[in-house]
A and B are shown apart, each in its own frame.
Chain A
Amino acid sequence: MQREIIKEIILEDAERILKLYKRVILPSALVFAVFLLFFPHIFKSPTYPLLHFILSLFIFSLVLLSFLFAFFTQVRIKKKISELSFDEIQRMIVLSLLFELFSVCLGLWAFLSFSQGFSFFMAPTLLVAFLVSLPGYLSPSWIKSIALLSISFLVLIFLAGVFNFYPFPLPTSPLKHSFAAWAVFFLGLIIIFVVYNLMTNVWYREYIMRARLEGIKREIEKKLLKRTKKLQEMYEETQILRIRERARMAEAEKRTKELENARTALINILEDVEEARLKAEEERDKTLAIIQNFTDGLLVFDGEGKISLINPQVEIFFKVKKEEVVGKSILDLAQIPDFKPIVEVVGRELKKIFRKEAQIREDLILEVTNIPMMREGKKIGTLMILHDVTREKAIERMKSEFVSISAHQLRTPLSAIKWTLKMFLDGDLGELTEEQMEFLKRVYQSNERLINLINDLLNVTRIEEGRYLYKPVLADITSICQSVIDSYTEEIKKKNLRFKFKKPKELPKVRVDIEKISLAIQNLLENAIRYNKVGGEIEIVLREKEGKIEFLIKDTGIGIPKNQQDRVFTKFFRASNAMKMETEGSGLGLFITKNIVEAHGGKIWFESEEGKGTTFYFTLPIAQK
């Protein structure tokens, strides 16, 4: 380390000297060199011995120093210092100093030579000697350096001898002359070594001291730098931490703000949820209140078919407690006797049904409605509604009984009258006069009308109860028509009516209540006969049309006034012209006919023109196979 520092110091010194040399000394030396070469006579004058001496010395030294030192420092130290070892540099520096000394010696030699008389060859001789010595300074080897220096010295001596420019008076003896020369040479070497050691020690010590100081200085600087760097790093770290901290705080602030916002939003949501909850609770309470107080029984089955809710009415119906049935499936309920009829109606899969009756007990009939509860197309449960129809059924039964009884009670005397009159008219109760027969006939007819009226009223009652059709069966409409027509043959003949019955060879069957359809056709035929002119026409057509059976009956009767046509199918209605023609009539016939046709799934309509005739149409669906 120290040696490195010394190297650097040397380099610094060399650079400083070089700078000085380049800027001041070299230009001066060049100037003097020019004078020396081209105006040597200036220096020749013994008149100015001191000036001569100084100038010669100076010039000489400077020229040589300039050349060599520049060369030396530039080439060797500056450029090659990194390749040289410390010892090499040390030696080179010493040599450069020695070289300086040598230069001084040479200068002295030159001066002294001048005093002896100028020799033109002195300068070139000295130059040659230096040139020869040059490799000595440049060589890294001590032996080589000394050898070259010795050679150059010898060369110098030789040339001095040749050209006679010794610095001191010489012995006359050639041997002494040589001995003196060698003595000077070895003296010179000794001086060189002494000076070298002295210089190295001094110089080295100085450099060591300087190096130490430099080293210490550099150490301190290094430590300082390190510390500074550390402090810088710490400072930077602190800055980074501060920045990070700031960033973290900013982040934390941001997060806090976000949390605040989220909190506010959450509070709002919670408030909304609370509001919704309260609303839902209110609705639920309302619903529960409705359910609890509903007069119909309500059972809610969950998606698995188990009871999740029943209302108090169900407990009353089946004489059970909620706890006994909630959680049970429909099949479990079948174990409870009163529930069995319900289970039979709905089945284990809780099928969808609408108002199906189930007799629970003697005193309880319930109408069952099963509604699947759907959410997003998926069944989530079933709602069963049980409506107590016991009273309605009882009333229905009573009504039915009343109607039956009334019909029976009304018919009983009428049938007695009918049968009696008929027996009279048939001669079973003795001979009657014509006049008696005539009266009895009229009475018989009146009785018949009364019977018909009662029948019509009975039918209307049944229609309004919705239990008109009894048991529809597969039937041939053609034969039903024919049967009705056959029963009116007499009437048709009496009025001399032309009658046509158009029917295809075969017609699809229909599913009808034969008695009721016969009645419907009978009512239409009766009207066609009753309100027809004598000698008029009646045509009945049966056909299949547009997938249905179509019946039409056309007459050439009185027709229906246009302004009364919209009331034709209403109860007790009789057109004014009909009443004028035939006072008898209940006005219920077409009402009953319309209800019969519609109860079979058909349609009825008519076309009529007053004074020309009427055509009634009705359709019936073809029986499905």
Chain B
Amino acid sequence: MAKKILLVEDEEIMIDLLKRKLSKEGYEVFVARDGEEGLKKMKEMEPKPDLILLDIVMPKMGGFEVMEEMKKDEKLKEIPVIVISNSGQPVELDRAKKLGAKDWLIKTEFDPKEVLEKVKKQIG
């Protein structure tokens, strides 16, 4: 069975590129365009996603808030999260780590291929 990835990202082009890349590799990609939607989908999805690719700066609810909500939920807190963001402030990286993020990718530092590698490393 294909691994499920929930992509929570507000930029359309990033969604298209990542979805294309990951789907090509056999991953089933679900998309949420803001944090609120992402959280809702997480809760609704059964089984739960195998990985969450989470942006930080999003409308309605940002990535940190999503992670905080996920921590409170027994079913959601175990889902691995890779943050993909254009912010690179060390304080943010620390915060993400404390909230349980497995990795942090700065979009300008990495390309979709490298993202794929990170995903494979995380969920196979």
Contacts and interface: CB of A to CB of B under 8 A. Distances in A.
A159 interface: no
Given A411-B107, A428-B21, A470-B91, A419 B86 contact: no
A408 interface: yes
A407 B21 contact: no
A423 to B, nearest CB: 6
B45 interface: no
A414 interface: yes
B112 A415 contact: no
Contacts of A458: 88
Contacts of B24: 428
Given A408-B57, A423-B21, A428-B24, A418 B111 contact: yes
Interface string A445-458: 00000010011001
Nearest to A448: B108
A443 to B, nearest CB: 14
A115 interface: no
B113 A422 contact: yes
A529 to B, nearest CB: 19
Contacts, number: 64
Contact of B20 (A404, A407, A423): A423
Report the contact-size class of chain A (Cβ under 8 Å from the partner): 20 to 34
Contacts of B94: 471
Contacts of B1: none
Interface string B1-21: 000000000010110011011
A414 B13 contact: no
A90 interface: no
B86 A411 contact: yes
Interface residues of B, number: 24
Interface in A222-274: none
B87 to A, nearest CB: 5
A416 interface: yes
A471 B17 CA distance: 34
A426 interface: yes
B86 A407 contact: yes
A415 B87 contact: no
Interface in B83-99: 85-92, 94
The interface residues of chain A, by DSSP majority, are classed as helix
A515 B89 CA distance: 11
A287 interface: no
Given A419-B107, A422-B111, A451-B108, A408 B86 contact: yes
A490 to B, nearest CB: 15
Given A416-B13, A419-B112, A422-B113, A470 B107 contact: no
Interface in A405-463: 407-408, 411-412, 414-416, 418-420, 422-423, 426, 428-429, 451, 454-455, 458
A419 B90 contact: no
A411 B106 CA distance: 9
A86 B14 CA distance: 167
Contacts of B112: 419, 422-423, 426, 428
B13 A420 contact: yes
Contact of A419 (B17, B85, B87, B89): B17
A599 to B, nearest CB: 13
Nearest to B89: A404
A358 to B, nearest CB: 20
Contact of B17 (A407, A408, A423): A423
A426 B111 CA distance: 10
Contacts of A400: 89
A448 to B, nearest CB: 9
Interface string A395-407: 0000010001001
Contacts of B11: 412, 416
Contacts of A429: 20
Interface centre among B86, B94, B106, B112 (most CB of A within 10 A): B86
B98 to A, nearest CB: 13
Nearest to A417: B13
A415 B86 contact: yes
Interface in B25-42: none
A415 B14 contact: yes
Contacts of B21: 423, 428
B111 to A, nearest CB: 4
A471 B94 CA distance: 10
A426 B86 CA distance: 22
Contacts of A414: 108
B32 to A, nearest CB: 18
Interface of B: 11, 13-14, 17-18, 20-21, 24, 57, 85-92, 94, 106-108, 111-113
10 contacts: A404-B87, A404-B89, A408-B86, A414-B108, A422-B112, A423-B21, A426-B113, A429-B20, A470-B90, A471-B94
- Per CB-CB distance, the 10 closest pairs between chain A and chain B, nearest first, are A415-B107, A470-B90, A411-B86, A422-B111, A451-B108, A416-B13, A415-B108, A408-B86, A411-B108, A419-B17
